[in-house]
Chains A and B, each alone.
Chain A
Amino acid sequence: MSERLAEQLALLPNYLSHHIALTLTALAIGIIICLPLAALVTRVKALQWPVMTIASILQTIPGIAMLALMVPLLGQIGALPALIALVLYSMLPMIRNTVTGILDIDSSLTEAARGSGMTSMQILRLVELPLAAPVIIAGIRTSAVWIVGTATLATPVGATSLGNYIFSGLQTQNYTAVIVGSASAAALAIILDQFIHLIEYAASQRKKTLAIGTSVGLLLLALLGMSPLYERYNSNTGAERIVIGAKTFTEQYVLSEMMSEILTDAGFEIEVRSGMGSTILFEALTNNEVDCYVDYSGTIWANYMQRKSVPKGDTVLVELTKWLMDQHQVLCLGALGFENTYALAIPREFAENNKIVSVSDLSSYSRNMKMGSDYEFFGRPEWVSLRDTYRLNFTDLVSMDHSLMYAAINEDAVNVIAAYSTDGSIAAFDLVTLTDPQQALPPYDATLLLSPRASSNQRLIEALNVIIGKITAEEMRSANKAVDLDNRSVSESAKQLRRAIFSQ
C-alpha cells in the first residue's frame, strides 16, 4: 500500500464515524418526522398541497446552500446545522412515497377495513402501512442514499464527515484523498441501502429471524463504525481541547496542520475543522466554536469591518486588532510575517509582449479579457474597489475553485486570475502578478486570531506565540508549492514548514 493511501486511511475511522453518526441520526429524525406527517397528510387533504410543495421547494435548494444557510439561521456551526439541513433535505422522498403509497391502496381495502370496525389509526397501522411498506421503504432508501451523499457537504459548515477528504483533497490536489472519501461515501450508501432493502424483504416475506438478524446486523455495524467517537469522547485525558479552524485553500490546511502539531506537542487535544468559508469561520470564532485560525488583514478590514478606504502601512493591523477586541472580544495575536494578498496574475508572455506591469496597464486590455477568481472574490468589496479604481471591464467574470484557476488560465479559458500571492503555482505556471499602484487592495497580512474564550488562555497563547512573525512569504510559498505541485501531503508540508521556522 502506498504511503499516500495509508496516510489517508489513517483518517478514515475519525471521518467515517462522524459521517455515520451524522447520516444515521438525520435518517432516524427524518423518518420520525416524515412518516407521521405523511400519514396526517393522507387524513387531512387540505395539508397535502402545502406539505408536498414545501418539501419539494426544500428539495430544490442545492445541498451545499441548504447546509450553509443553516449556519446564520442557527447562529452556530458544526453537527447541528448539518443535521437539520440533512433532515430537511431528505424529507421529500419519504413524504412523497408515504403519501402516494397510502393513497394508492385499493379503496376496497380501506372500505373493508372501515366496514370491519377499524379506527383511523388501526386502518393506518394494520392495513395502510403494511401495504404501502414497499413504496415507503423505497422512499427511505432514496433519502438514505441522498443523506449519505449530501453529508459530504457538511465539511464547510464545520461538521466532520467524509467530505473532509473531498474538500481538502480537491484543494490540495490530493486525489488519493478525494477517491478515498468518495469511495467510502459510496460504499456507505450502498451498504445502508442494501440493509434497508433486506429488512424490507424479510418483513414482506414474514421472515422474522432474517428481519431481526438484519436489523441487529445494521445496528452492530453502525455502532462499530461509530466506535471511534466513543473512544474520543470517553478518553478524557485531561488535556484541554482546542478547535483550530481553516478555510478552503492549501495554505490554510498547511497552517492549521502545523498549529495542530505544535499544540498537540504542547499537550493540548486538538480538533481541526477545515474547509470552512470565511464568514462562517469568523462567526464560529466569535461564538467560541472555533478557538483559533489564521485570517488575513485585508479580509477582516474589507469584509468584517466593512471599511471602504485602504489606509497605508501598519494602520490596518493596529485598527483591526482594536476593532476585533472591542466588537467581538477576539484577540489578534499578531501577524505571522508573510502577506497573502489577492494579486491579478497574467501569463508572462502576454505581460512582456504588451509591457503590462501594473493593474493600470491592464485596464485598456480588459475589454477583451476574461477574468477568473475563487468563489469569494467577485462578491467582496475589494473587487469593487479594484474594478472601479482601474476601470476594469472584463468580458466575463468566472468564479471557480481556487485550485482550478491555474489550469483555467493555462488553457486560455480565462486570461487573468485573482491569484493569492503565496500560491506556489504562480511561478510554476509562468505567470506574473501585477502591481497595485493606487493601493486599491488592502494589505493581506496573515494574522492569528483567538476566540474570546481562548483569549484568556495563557498556555495556548504562549504555545502559539512561537509562530508569530516567523513565517516568511518565501517559506509559505514553498510550503504551498510542496502540496500543490510536488504531490506532498499537507502533513509533510506542515512538518517541513515547522522545521523551517524553528531552524531560524
Chain B
Amino acid sequence: MINLKNISKSYDDEATFAVDSIDLEIKSGELLALVGESGCGKTTTLKMINRLIEPSAGSIEIDGENILALDPVTLRRRIGYVFQEIGLFPHMTVAENISITPRLLGWSAERMHSRVTELLQMVELNPDGLRNRFPRELSGGQQQRIGVARALAVAPSVMLMDEPFGALDPLTRSGLQKELTRLHKLMSMTIILVTHDMSEALTLADRIAVMEKGKIVRLDTPANILQNPGHPYAQRLLETPVNQMNALTKLLQQSESADSQ
C-alpha cells in the first residue's frame, strides 16, 4: 500500500504549488491512473514516489515505511519506472539495458542472462534475436517493450509509468495496453499510471484519480466515474471518449441498418 499524506510541491518557494496538499491511498496490486491535462501536477506526483522530485511538504509511505527517510538510490532500485521518452541507453545492448538495475544490485552474469531471457519473453519479444541488438535497431513499440522489461527487471512491487504509450502509434499502443493488463495480473504489482488520455485510464485502471491544478478533484473506479463524473472537470475529460464512443456507435448502427436493407 502506498500512502501519500498531505503532499505538496512548490517550485517557486511556495508562491504557487504544482501539487497542492493531496492525500492519496493506493492499494497493493491496484492499477491507479492519474489523469489530467498538462501542468495539472500528475507527473510531479508520480515522480515524488520514487523521489526523482522531492516533495516540499507531506509524507509518503510504502507498506508503512516512510520513503522520505530512505536513501533515494536504494528506493529507486526497488521501484520500476517507465516513461514516454523511454530512455534506453544507446551505447548498451538490449540485454545490458534490461539488466541495468540487476547489475547495480550486483547480480551474477548467469542470473542476469536468464532474467533477460525471461523478461524478453514476458514482453513478447524474441530473446535470441534481440538481446545483443542496440536500441537504434528497434521500432518504437519494441523499444517501449524493452523499457517495460527494464522496469520489471528486479520484479518490483511498485511500478511508476509516466505516459508510457504516449509516443506510440495507435495500433502499437493498444497492443502494449493489453500487454500491460496481462503483466499487471501476472505479477500482481501496484502500478501508478500517469496519462492525459481518459480512454486509456478507463480501459486500464482499477481506479482513476482526476487531477486539476495540483489537486485531486475526483477519485473513483472507471465505472463510477462514467456513471457519475461528479466534478465539472471530470465531466469535461469524459466528453472526448464518450463523444467518440457515441459517434462510433452511431456509425455502427448505420452500417448495420445499411447491411440489413
Contact = CB atoms under 8 A, between A and B. Distances in A.
Indicate the size class of the contact surface on chain A: 10 to 19
Interface string A61-92: 00000000000000000000000000000000
Contacts of A108: 83, 85-87
A117 to B, nearest CB: 3
A117 B88 contact: no
Specify the main secondary structure of chain A where it touches its partner: helix
Contacts of A112: 81, 83, 85-89
Contacts, number: 57
A263 interface: no
Interface in B137-166: 150
B100 interface: yes
Interface centre among B87, B88, B91, B101 (most CB of A within 10 A): B87
Contacts of A106: 85, 87
Contact of B76 (A117, A130, A131): A117
Contacts of A380: none
Interface string B75-107: 111100101011111110000000011001000
A112 B100 CA distance: 10
Nearest to B96: A126
B235 to A, nearest CB: 34
A114 B83 contact: no
A108 to B, nearest CB: 3
B8 interface: no
Contact of B100 (A111, A116, A119): A116
A115 interface: yes
A117 B99 CA distance: 12
B73 A119 contact: yes
A130 to B, nearest CB: 5
Contacts of A127: 89
Contact of B91 (A111, A117, A131): A131
A438 interface: no
Contact of A111 (B73, B74, B87): B87
Nearest to A107: B85
A118 interface: yes
A115 B90 contact: no
B90 A111 contact: no
Contacts of B104: 116-118, 122
A131 B90 contact: yes
A115 B86 contact: no
Contacts of A468: none
Interface centre among A112, A114, A126, A130 (most CB of B within 10 A): A112
A116 B91 contact: no
A109 interface: yes
Indicate the size class of the contact surface on chain B: 20 to 34
Nearest to B160: A115
Contacts of B89: 109, 112-113, 126-127, 131
B109 interface: no
Given A116-B100, A131-B91, A111 B76 contact: no
A110 to B, nearest CB: 8
B85 A115 contact: no
B85 A116 contact: no
A253 to B, nearest CB: 55
Given A111-B52, A122-B104, A131-B91, A117 B86 contact: no
B44 interface: no
Contacts of A131: 89-91
A106 B91 CA distance: 13
Given A127-B89, A130-B91, A131-B90, A116 B83 contact: no
A116 B90 contact: no
A322 B237 CA distance: 100
Given A116-B104, A117-B77, A111 B150 contact: no
Nearest to B76: A117
A108 B52 CA distance: 12
Interface in A380-439: none
Interface string A116-140: 1111001000110011000000000
Interface in B46-88: 50, 52, 73-78, 81, 83, 85-88
A32 to B, nearest CB: 24
Contacts of A116: 76-77, 81, 100-101, 104, 150
Nearest to B154: A117
Given A108-B83, A122-B104, A115 B88 contact: no
Contacts of B76: 114-117
A431 B77 CA distance: 85
A135 to B, nearest CB: 13
A117 B74 contact: yes
A356 to B, nearest CB: 76
Contacts of B86: 108, 112
Contacts of B74: 117
Nearest to A111: B87
Contact of B87 (A109, A117, A126): A109
A202 to B, nearest CB: 14
Contacts of B87: 106, 108-109, 111-113, 115
Interface string B229-251: 00000000000000000000000
7 contacts: A113-B87, A116-B81, A116-B100, A117-B76, A117-B78, A118-B100, A118-B104
Given A112-B81, A112-B89, A116-B77, 16 more contacts: A106-B85, A108-B83, A108-B86, A109-B87, A111-B83, A112-B85, A112-B87, A113-B87, A113-B89, A115-B50, A115-B83, A117-B77, A117-B104, A118-B73, A127-B89, A130-B91
Closest A-B pairs by Cβ, 5 of them:
A112-B87, A117-B77, A108-B85, A115-B81, A117-B76
